[in-house]
């Protein structure tokens, strides 16, 4: 009889499968498959956690990938995934009364327990990957578990399975927490048997013992390296980083560390060994934001953004899985290069044209008439000079391509009436650019786009007035609506922010409005402003705002191509995330930059910084 009827799915397994099946192998991921200490740095949604999870044995063993299969088969690397979840961190930070030494003991103790729990999950995965016959697997589990148990809990008996060990660890943690409370209430240490003594040993000692026992039990080769993967170390303090750093500095044999953190959140290079970490020698940074492979590419198979879409669609919305981005979103009116017609100018009989001639000639030519209407004096003068002498090529190079989209954007914004349905933010290239090469933002966009088609709430609309295209699967106006609402939501997401209150939101608002004003409340010069420039005169609090904005994926630093893993500090050029462009009516592409100090509203920001 079918007993699965009401069974809850094995969520753990499903989750794993889903993650692995939708995972897109990137260059950064391949970089991680090496025996090195590495710290993965990326903003919210850049896919750090996914990278680290897939690195762990229980995920990697499910990944359909040649390199991964080889690693699993040969047992080259075994990844252990430790999550410093909120509850873990909450327990570290609520003990204000502890001195540094007690803090270190406590951290060590928790980390040892957490790493052993993680090792057990890895062990479970190894058992199912390497032993096919059910009964043999059980026998092996019991054998190794008994060895682990003897090492970790010399006094406990009746522990035969991985689940038994997990229960025992849980019991120890709970008991210790009670002991701590008792200690705190009565201010005394009772003379009782210690709890979980093994886990008070040096950091990673129980883990290393466990690794040895499992390696021996499963007969792993000598060359096997173990990756200790710790997620979200930004949740820890500088104090804890210092401890973690010490172990990266020391030689740990076949154990390597892989951490993830937010930009600017590897708080120190100090160690407890009198020698600080040497970046590159002891540990390598891997910056994963702005990965161009997640940007727009004309050939779908070269685009990781497309793979990201396709893998998810195949699983949950197969009816869309065979569409390309072109099919789904069509052409991008704002970003695709479009020929500008100069026929009126070229066909004129006159050799040299006057401004009046030009004004008359271009009446029916939208681009050129907008050029005359919206550019500032200097730009207009230079442009008119070129047009007057029919130097069309030069005009195109200097103004045409760059300015065309800006002109339309400005015209749209200037003439739109309250409810007019704008069809600006649409088309494959725009849609993908707005995703900032950030997997989470892209997925958010895709899922919203598909739900709009599905809900059928919005009728298919006619193509934008200016271009004749076969209708994309998702109508242009729906795309515009989705991107605009996602953009608004992204800005609102950080209306309140830890330590900053409403400060971060106000900060981004002042930058975005400044950029908006530049286009929409002024005559145009050649470019929009898309970036802010920070000089080393920036104040600490302002810099902290910049850091937070980078962490949240609201601005991105311009990366030095010689040194792509290094983040600029207290200076540099940062562009506003393209996801905010529909909100501030900007083009989702890079333009000019301005100094932060030149943004008028920024001076008046009331930052209630409280750190």
Partner 1 sequence: MLNLISVRNIAISEIKDIAFDIGIFASGYESRATFVAKSIDFEQIHYPLVLGFKEFEHNPVRKQNDLFYSEKGSKAVLISSAEEKGIYSELITIFTKLDDTATVRILVDYTSMARLWYSGILNFLRFQQEKDIEVYLTYSIGIYEKAKFLDYTYSEISSLPSHEGSLSANVRTLLVLGVGYSPYLVKAVIEDIEPNSTLGIIASSLDPNYSPNNMSDIKTILKGDINHWVKCPIQDLEYIFRTYAEIVSNNIYKRDILFLSLGPKIFTIASILISQRFESVTCLYLKQPKNPSINIQPSGQIVCNKILYLKNKVKF
Partner 2 sequence: MKILVISDLHIGVRARTKELCPYPEGNSKDDKQVSSFLRALKIYQDSNGNIDYLVIPGDVTHQSNLVEYDCGEVFLRKVLSELHMEDTKVIFVPGNHDVDWSVLNGSTIQENERELRKRHKYNTLKDPEHIFSRLSSSALVAEPYIEKWEFNDVVYFGFNSSWHDDPLQKSHYGLIELSQVAKLREMLELTVFEDKLKVFVVHHHVYQYTNPHPTWREFSCIQNAQALLDLLSEFDFHFVIHGHRHVPFFSVINPNGTSTINILCSGSYSCEVPSEIAGAVGNLFHIIEVNEKPCKGKVLSFAYDPTLYEWIESRDNHGIYFINPFGNETPVEKILDQCSQNIERIGLGEKVIFFDNVVSGIADMEYLPNTKQEKLLKDIEDRYNLSRGTVGNRIIFVNEQE
| β-bridge mates for residue 40, sequence order | 260, 286
Give the containing element (helix H, strand E) for 287: strand 284-287
Identify the residue among 178, 216, 350, 462 touching partner 1 (CB under 8 A).
178
Is 86 among the residues that bind partner 1 (CB under 8 A)? yes
Q: d(Cα 501, Cα 481) in Å, to the nearest integer?
A: 29
Identify the residue among 21, 104, 182, 336 touching partner 1 (CB under 8 A).
182
Is 135 among the residues that bind partner 2 (CB under 8 A)? yes
Sign of CA dihedral 272, 119, 86, 168: negative
Cβ atoms 77, 227 nearer than 8 A:
yes
Q: Which stretch binds partner 1 (CB under 8 A): 495-503, 523-531, 558-566, 585-593?
A: 495-503
Residues ≥6 apart with Cβ < 8 Å to 476 = 330, 333, 423, 426, 427, 461, 463, 464
| Residue 598 binds which of partner 2, partner 1, none (CB < 5-8 A, kind-dependent) | none
Cβ atoms 477, 453 nearer than 8 A:
no
Is 202 among the residues that bind partner 2 (CB under 8 A)? no
Is 87 among the residues that bind partner 1 (CB under 8 A)? yes
Q: d(Cα 66, Cα 70) in Å, to the nearest integer?
A: 6
Number of separate helices (H) and strands (E) present in the chain: 26, 9
73 vs 139, beta carbon nearer partner 2: 139
Residues ≥6 apart with Cβ < 8 Å to 241 = 233, 266, 267, 268
| β-bridge mates for residue 377, sequence order | none
Q: Which stretch binds partner 1 (CB under 8 A): 118-126, 145-153, 219-227, 424-432?
A: 118-126
Cβ atoms 524, 375 nearer than 8 A:
yes
Half-sphere exposure at residue 272, Cβ-oriented, CA atoms within 13 angstroms: 13
* Helix orientation angle between 100-130 and 238-249, rounded to the nearest 10 degrees: 60
Nearest approach, Cβ of 90 to partner 1 (angstroms)?
A: 3
Q: Which two tokens stand for residue 423?
A: 């069809």
Cβ atoms 295, 556 nearer than 8 A:
no
**Secondary structure class of 251 (helix, strand, coil):** coil
Q: Which stretch binds partner 2 (CB under 8 A): 6-14, 73-81, 93-101, 591-599?
A: 6-14
| Residue 2 binds which of partner 2, partner 1, none (CB < 5-8 A, kind-dependent) | partner 2
Q: Which stretch binds partner 1 (CB under 8 A): 30-38, 165-173, 387-395, 417-425?
A: 165-173
Q: Which two tokens stand for residue 489?
A: 């939501």
Identify the residue among 121, 141, 444, 547 touching partner 2 (CB under 8 A).
141
Q: d(Cα 578, Cα 431) in Å, to the nearest integer?
A: 10
| Residue 132 binds which of partner 2, partner 1, none (CB < 5-8 A, kind-dependent) | none
Identify the residue among 94, 347, 455, 561 touching partner 1 (CB under 8 A).
94
| Residue 381 binds which of partner 1, partner 2, none (CB < 5-8 A, kind-dependent) | none
Identify the residue among 85, 212, 280, 462 touching partner 1 (CB under 8 A).
85
Strands (E), 140-277: 225-231, 255-261
143 vs 202, beta carbon nearer partner 2: 143
Write the interaction track for partner 2 spanning residues 8-47; mark x where CB under 8 A is met and - where it is not: x---------------------------------------
**Secondary structure class of 256 (helix, strand, coil):** strand
Is 27 among the residues that bind partner 1 (CB under 8 A)? no
User: Could you say which residues in the range 187-226 bind partner 1, by CB under 8 A?
Assistant: 187
Nearest approach, Cβ of 137 to partner 2 (angstroms)?
A: 8
Nearest approach, Cβ of 140 to partner 2 (angstroms)?
A: 9
5 vs 356, beta carbon nearer partner 2: 5
Q: Which stretch binds partner 1 (CB under 8 A): 218-226, 346-354, 487-495, 509-517?
A: 487-495
Q: Could you write out the DSSP letters of every residue in 425-489? A: S-SHHHHHHHTTT-HHHHHHHHHHHHHHHHH--S---PPPTT---PPPSS-HHHHHHHHHHHHHH
Number of residues that bind partner 2 (CB under 8 A): 22
Identify the residue among 34, 74, 128, 174 touching partner 1 (CB under 8 A).
174
Is 1 among the residues that bind partner 2 (CB under 8 A)? yes
Number of residues that bind partner 1 (CB under 8 A): 52
Is 264 among the residues that bind partner 1 (CB under 8 A)? no
Write the interaction track for partner 2 spanning residues 155-174; mark x where CB under 8 A is met and - where it is not: --xxxxxxxx----------
Cβ atoms 317, 450 nearer than 8 A:
yes
Sign of CA dihedral 529, 531, 537, 540: positive
Is 468 among the residues that bind partner 1 (CB under 8 A)? no
Q: Which stretch binds partner 1 (CB under 8 A): 67-75, 108-116, 337-345, 553-561?
A: 108-116
Write the interaction track for partner 1 spanning residues 30-49; mark x where CB under 8 A is met and - where it is not: --------------x-----
96 vs 134, beta carbon nearer partner 2: 134
Is 183 among the residues that bind partner 1 (CB under 8 A)? no
Q: Exposed e or buried b for every residue in 391-418, given b needs 16+ CB within 10 A?
A: eeebbbebbbebbbbbbbbbebeeeeee
Q: Exposed e or buried b for every residue in 239-272, given b needs 16+ CB within 10 A?
A: ebbbbbbbbbbeeeebbbbbbbbbbbbbbebbbe
6 vs 186, beta carbon nearer partner 2: 6
- Residue 368 DSSP label: H
Identify the residue among 212, 462, 498, 595 touching partner 1 (CB under 8 A).
498
Pairing assessment for the beta strands 555-557 and 529-534 based on DSSP bridges: unpaired
Q: Could you write out the DSSP letters of every residue in 2-56? A: ---TTPPP-HHHHHHHHHHHT----HHHHHHSSSS-EEEE--TTSSHHHHHHHHS
27 vs 150, beta carbon nearer partner 2: 150
Angle at CA of residue 69, ends 65 and 70, nearest 5°: 120
Nearest approach, Cβ of 141 to partner 2 (angstroms)?
A: 6
Cβ atoms 295, 430 nearer than 8 A:
no
Q: d(Cα 212, Cα 250) in Å, to the nearest integer?
A: 19
| Residue 142 binds which of partner 2, partner 1, none (CB < 5-8 A, kind-dependent) | partner 2
Residue numbers at the binding site for partner 1 (CB under 8 A) = 8, 11-12, 15, 44, 83, 85-88, 90-91, 93-97, 110, 113-114, 117-118, 120-121, 166, 169-170, 173-174, 177-178, 180-182, 184-187, 492-502, 608, 610-611
Residue numbers at the binding site for partner 2 (CB under 8 A) = 1-2, 5-8, 134-135, 138-139, 141-143, 146, 157-164
């Amino acid at each position: 009889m079918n007993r699965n009827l009401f069974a809850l799915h094995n969520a753990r397994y499903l989750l794993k499968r889903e993650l692995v099946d939708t995972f897109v192998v990137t260059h950064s991921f391949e970089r991680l498959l090496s025996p090195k200490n590495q710290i993965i740095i990326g903003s919210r949604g850049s896919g750090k956690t996914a990278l680290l999870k897939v690195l762990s044995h229980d995920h990697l063993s499910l990944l359909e990938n040649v390199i991964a299969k080889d690693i699993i088969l040969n047992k080259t690397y075994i990844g252990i995934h430790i999550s410093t979840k909120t509850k873990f961190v909450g327990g570290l930070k609520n003990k204000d009364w502890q001195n540094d030494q007690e803090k270190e003991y406590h951290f060590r103790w928790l980390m040892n327990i957490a790493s052993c729990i993680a090792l057990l999950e890895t062990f479970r995965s190894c058992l199912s990957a390497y032993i096919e016959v059910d009964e043999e697997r059980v026998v092996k589990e019991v054998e190794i578990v008994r060895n682990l148990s003897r090492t970790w809990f010399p006094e406990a008996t009746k522990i035969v399975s991985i689940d038994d060990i997990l229960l025992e660890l849980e019991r120890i943690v709970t008991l210790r927490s009670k002991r701590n409370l008792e200690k705190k209430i009565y201010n005394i240490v009772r003379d009782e048997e210690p709890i979980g003594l093994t886990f008070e040993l040096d950091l990673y000692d129980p883990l290393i013992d466990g690794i040895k026992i499992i390696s021996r039990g499963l007969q792993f080769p000598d060359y096997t390296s173990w990756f200790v993967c710790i997620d979200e170390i930004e949740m820890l303090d500088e104090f804890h980083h210092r401890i973690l750093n010490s172990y990266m500095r020391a030689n740990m044999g076949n154990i390597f560390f892989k951490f993830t953190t937010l930009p600017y959140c590897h708080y120190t290079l100090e160690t407890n060994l009198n020698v600080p970490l040497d970046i590159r020698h002891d540990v390598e940074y891997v910056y994963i934001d702005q990965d161009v492979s997640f940007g727009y590419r004309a050939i779908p198979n070269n685009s990781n953004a497309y793979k990201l879409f396709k893998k998810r669609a195949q699983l949950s919305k197969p009816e869309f899985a065979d569409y390309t981005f072109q099919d789904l979103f069509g052409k991008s009116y704002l970003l695709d290069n479009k020929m500008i017609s100069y026929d009126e100018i070229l066909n004129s009989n006159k050799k040299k044209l006057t401004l009046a001639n030009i004004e008359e000639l271009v009446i029916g030519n939208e681009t050129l008439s907008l050029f005359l209407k919206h550019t500032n004096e200097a730009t207009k003068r230079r442009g008119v000079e070129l047009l007057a002498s029919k130097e069309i090529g030069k005009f195109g190079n200097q103004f045409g391509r760059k300015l065309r989209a800006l002109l339309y954007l400005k015209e749209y914004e200037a003439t739109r009436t309250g409810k007019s349905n704008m069809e600006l933010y649409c088309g494959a290239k725009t849609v993908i650019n707005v995703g900032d090469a950030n997997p989470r933002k892209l997925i958010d966009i895709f899922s919203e786009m598909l739900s709009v088609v599905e809900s059928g709430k919005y009728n298919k609309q006619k193509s934008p007035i200016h271009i004749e295209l076969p209708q994309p699967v998702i109508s242009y106006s729906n795309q515009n609506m989705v991107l605009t609402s996602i953009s608004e939501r992204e800005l609102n997401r950080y209306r309140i922010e830890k330590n900053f209150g409403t400060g971060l939101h106000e900060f981004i608002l002042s930058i975005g409005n400044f950029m908006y004003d530049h286009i929409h409340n002024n005559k145009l010069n050649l470019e929009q402003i898309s970036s802010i420039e920070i000089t080393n005169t920036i104040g600490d609090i302002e810099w902290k705002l910049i850091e937070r904005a980078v962490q949240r994926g609201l601005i991105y630093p311009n990366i030095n191509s010689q040194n792509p893993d290094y983040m600029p500090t207290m200076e540099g050029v940062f562009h506003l995330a393209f996801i905010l462009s529909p909100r501030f009516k900007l083009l989702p592409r890079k333009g000019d930059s301005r100094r932060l100090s030149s943004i008028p509203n920024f001076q008046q920001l009331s930052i209630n910084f409280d750190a």
